[in-house]
Structure 1
């Protein structure tokens, strides 16, 4: 039921299918750790050319690594620092074609070349960020951003 081979069609169609899989996977489970773990695994295995997919959660002082798929990660990120901290501080998705060109990029995995980070807010409350890295330059486009913002919204809905 939850396999990359199930994704077919155009990229927007694939993201529609991925969103449906995410809804099914998270349905009825309100625990954020369980949902973040399963969603990280789903996305990591469903989408090509990713080397890290996961969550950083806000603990009231900084972003702290949560469930993820990929190489070991930076444990703590200050608000406003790096791509993740910038997404959280600005409340805007950060799509970075070349992480080496991003001022203040925090290189947790030297293989990462591009990154997309979706901030996770419920009202005015910062929950954390949903972070994806790729070993390819310019891996993420508008379709990826829209699709992954939808997946992040499904995660947030599961917490209610």
Structure 2
């Protein structure tokens, strides 16, 4: 079942949304699926996030486009509330972030994920993790519960 776009809105979050964002992602952080980001980290990068709110003004999904260089960005922290999964919201968010990346002039978008199928249907292609820039590995991956044994799949999309 595809999402009825009228019921949902993709918007930029406000600082006041950060506690609700952290609450939404908490279970996946505890499971080691998504890296924990402090309130201050989210606040520092708040402009890179997009959230989806439902008709009740509840945050039901979010993600961010992090910029590494003039060429490369990364989609990170993609989460959809369990009750709203498999309705196309992840694809809506990913496509919105792809549009942001294109507007900025990025050439590629990277993602590390356990849900490769979500990205593959949007033309992301698997790459060897050895091709991921070192500053990505050391800046983020070292914070992961699973580091240094990474079992995420790296995918990239050329824009």
Tell me if TM exceeds 0.5. no
**Looking at both structures, which has the greater relative contact order when contacts are Cα pairs under 8 Å and sequence separation is at least 6?**
1
Given the two structures, how large is their TM-score scaled by the length of structure 1?
0.32
Given the two structures, how large is their TM-score scaled by the length of structure 2?
0.32
